[in-house]
Amino acid sequence: MMEILGLLSDGLWLSLQPTNLILILIGVTLGLFIGAMPGLGSVNGVAILLPITFLVPPASAIIFLAAIYYGAMYGGAISSITLGIPGASTAVATTFDGRPLALSGRASLALITAAIASFIGGTVSNVLFTAFAPPLASVALSFGNPEIFALMLLAFATFVGLGGDDIPKTVFSICIGLVFAAVGYDEISGAPRLIFFDISGFLHGVNFLVLAIGVYGIGEMLWTIDSTRGKITSTDAKMSVKGIASDAKEGMKRGWKGTAIGSFLGFFVGILPAAGATPGSLMSYGVAKMVARNPKEFGKGHPGGVAAPEAANNSASTGSMLPMLTLGIPGSPTTAILLGGMVIWGLTPGPRLFTDQSEFVWGLIGSFYVSNFFALVINIAFIPLFIWMLRMPFTILAPMIFVLSVVGGYAATKDMHDVWLMLGFGLGAFFLRKLDYPLAPAVLAIVLGPIAEPTLRQSLLLSSGDPSIFFTRAIAGPITVIAIILILLPLFKIIWTKIKSSSAETPAQ
């Protein structure tokens, strides 16, 4: 332990060197705006800026890219909350409660809760990372296909088994998401499927950001126009130092549970190479909703619904560095690019990196702590600017949302096909919402479907078609059982209330 602290302090010292500190500040600020731009996320930011890093030594280069990564995790929340468009894939779940809060004039509460939860998530994961990196790497490796499928089942179960929403409509929404997730190529057989009307744009599948921006950007805009007829949507968007303090207090009081869940669950999901920050934040949202005292408040503007995904995406982003640094296996698309960068800088990613390139690794870990701190400070400093945006009348905001959605839909895949698809999703979402269908489960399904489907089929190939593989393995077994219980929970509840009411009726007869 003492040795780790020594290495960590060396790392912190390295990341506080003037060049590195400046790179962190620039990186975090850039990341914040890249994250806030719909369609552009940490993946794009890191990929675009990768070539620039050849001007500095490898340690500084990765510190810069990690700072962008961190900043983007904070920034994603901003447009999710203020405009209702997910700023990055990792911030989709933040729109679920962030947007309703902003619409009720409490944008500052949502933004501050997001910032603080992000900071706590980042800190928790940094400590876990520092103390337990090598043993956690072997945990990540012990998750094979059956375990990951069990985990995905659990994630779906948290959304179905909540009891709060209309269950048939939730299941329907999940099915829509799963169908769109299946478009493109079948990973197992390599054959194309669901290529509607032979349009080649469907070959690359339906990018879930296209669905998310359509549903939350365009759908939300139509909904707001329909319900407010273009009036100012958010009246009470004021901001003061005293307000920040009281918002911070309220956000933490009501969001501490979500923050805690997001910090730990996010980290854990992040270290699994198949998953990453987006599933981590969605799952944390589901769990936070499930354990909340009153789950029905979620989705209508509960700070816990902002805190959970935001804590989770920061925590998961550190977590996904773990398999990259200890095993040389990327835990998320962004770390895949970082990994490519390491090869270009002349480092060999893999199990020996920790020992062979200890200064590089610990400099990076040190920079996580420093980036996390500065991201919090810079983010809070910019909050008044974002609040100011909200004071604009919706007749000005709506075209902005429209343009940002179109740009975001295009940026995700650079294909006009996806822009049309996104507009279609927006219209569809508007009507589904009119009919009172929950849309979050569809978004969850399109994120988790591409992980759940291949792992299910790979597991069954492994067991020659025997489904008992999900029950007999030490880790997969308990997770599967819990997931099935959660899915059946609403059914039990119905039976329970029936028994109760019939026993209450008997004495009356």
Partner 1 sequence: MKLTRRIALGFMFATGMMASVVTTTTPAHAWEPTKPIDFVIMAGAGGGADQIARFLQSVAEKKDLTVRPLVPNNKGGGSGAEALIALNGASDKDHSILVTLNSFFTTPIRQPNLGIDIQTFTPVTMMGVDPFVLWVHKDSGIKTFEDWLAKVKADNGEYVMGGTGKGQEDSIVIAWMEKNFDIKIKYIPYKGGGAVAKDLAGQQIMASVNNPAEAKGFFESGDVVPLIAFSDERLPNLPDTRTVKELGKDFSYYNQRAVVGAPGMSDEAAAYYRDLFGKIYDTEEWQNYMKSESLEPLPMDAATQKEYWKTQVDRHNELLKAIGG
Q: Does 468 bind partner 1 (CB under 8 A)?
A: no
Q: Give the shortest CB-72-to-partner 1 separation in angstroms.
A: 16
Of 247 and 453, nearer to partner 1 (C-beta) is 453
Measured between alpha carbons, how far is 119 from 88 in angstroms, rounded to an integer?
Answer: 18
Of 175 and 203, nearer to partner 1 (C-beta) is 203
Q: Which positions from 325 through 344 interact with partner 1, judged by CB under 8 A?
A: 327-330, 333, 336-337, 339-341, 343-344
Residue pair 103/97 in contact by the 8 Å Cβ criterion? no
Q: Which 3-state string (H, E, C) describes 284-307?
A: HHHHHHHHCCCHHHCCCCCHHHHH
Residue pair 217/404 in contact by the 8 Å Cβ criterion? yes
Q: Which positions from 475 through 504 interact with partner 1, judged by CB under 8 A?
A: none
Residue from 5, 22, 54, 226 in contact with partner 1 (CB under 8 A): 54
Q: Which residues make beta-bridge pairs with 185? A: 192
Q: Using CA of residue 458, residue 334, residue 290, residue 122, what is the dihedral sign? A: positive
Q: Which residues make beta-bridge pairs with 193? A: 184
Q: Give the shortest CB-473-to-partner 1 separation in angstroms.
A: 11
Secondary structure element (H or E) that encloses residue 376, with its range? helix 358-390
Of 143 and 216, nearer to partner 1 (C-beta) is 143
User: Using CA atoms in the order 313, 319, 324, 330, what is the torsion angle rounded to 10 degrees?
Assistant: -40
Measured between alpha carbons, how far is 13 from 16 in angstroms, rounded to an integer?
Answer: 5
In this chain, which stretch among 196-204, 209-217, 225-233, 237-245 interacts with partner 1, using CB under 8 A? 196-204
Q: Does 47 bind partner 1 (CB under 8 A)?
A: yes
Q: Using CA of residue 330, residue 331, residue 337, residue 339, what is the dihedral sign? A: negative
What angle in degrees, to the nearest 10, is found between the helix axes of 167-182 and 440-462?
60
Q: Which positions from 343 through 402 interact with partner 1, judged by CB under 8 A?
A: 343-344, 348-353
Of 271 and 307, nearer to partner 1 (C-beta) is 271
Q: Does 57 bind partner 1 (CB under 8 A)?
A: no
Of 287 and 337, nearer to partner 1 (C-beta) is 337
Residues 6 or more apart from 478 whose CB is under 8 A from it? none
Q: Give the shortest CB-381-to-partner 1 separation in angstroms.
A: 26
Q: Give the shortest CB-43-to-partner 1 separation in angstroms.
A: 7
Q: Give residue for tokens 């740009």.
A: 407
Q: Does 43 bind partner 1 (CB under 8 A)?
A: yes
Residue from 6, 19, 187, 238 in contact with partner 1 (CB under 8 A): 187
Q: Give the shortest CB-125-to-partner 1 separation in angstroms.
A: 20
Of 148 and 292, nearer to partner 1 (C-beta) is 148
Q: Using CA of residue 130, residue 282, residue 445, residue 296, what is the dihedral sign? A: positive
Of 139 and 232, nearer to partner 1 (C-beta) is 139
Of 310 and 453, nearer to partner 1 (C-beta) is 453
**Strand, helix or coil for residue 143:** coil
Per-residue tokens: 255 = 């969001």
Q: How many residues belong to the site for partner 1 (CB under 8 A)?
A: 49
DSSP 55: G
Measured between alpha carbons, how far is 316 from 336 in angstroms, rounded to an integer?
Answer: 14
Of 353, 370, 372, 326, residue with least CA distance to 13: 370
What angle in degrees, to the nearest 10, is found between the helix axes of 220-228 and 92-103?
10
Residue from 200, 294, 468, 503 in contact with partner 1 (CB under 8 A): 200
Interface pattern 128-147 for partner 1 (x via CB under 8 A) = ------------xxxxxx--
In this chain, which stretch among 95-103, 187-195, 302-310, 359-367 interacts with partner 1, using CB under 8 A? 187-195
Residue pair 313/280 in contact by the 8 Å Cβ criterion? yes
Per-residue tokens: 167 = 């269950």
CA-to-CA separations, 307 to 41, 82, 323, 338, in angstroms, rounded? 19, 15, 25, 27
Q: Does 243 bind partner 1 (CB under 8 A)?
A: no
Residue from 2, 189, 294, 435 in contact with partner 1 (CB under 8 A): 189
Q: Give the shortest CB-235-to-partner 1 separation in angstroms.
A: 41
Interface pattern 300-329 for partner 1 (x via CB under 8 A) = -----------------------x---xxx
Q: Give the shortest CB-147-to-partner 1 separation in angstroms.
A: 9
Amino acid residing at 23: L
Of 375 and 451, nearer to partner 1 (C-beta) is 451
Of 400, 420, 429, 441, residue with least CA distance to 38: 400
Of 422 and 429, nearer to partner 1 (C-beta) is 422
DSSP for 411-480?
HHHS-HHHHHHHHHHHHHHHHHHHTT---HHHHHHHHHHHHHHHHHHHHHHHTTT-TTHHHHSTTHHHHH
Interface pattern 267-296 for partner 1 (x via CB under 8 A) = ------xx----------------------
Binding footprint of partner 1 on the chain (CB under 8 A): 43, 47, 50-51, 54, 140-145, 184-185, 187-190, 192, 200, 203-205, 273-274, 323, 327-330, 333, 336-337, 339-341, 343-344, 348-353, 414, 454, 458, 461-462, 464
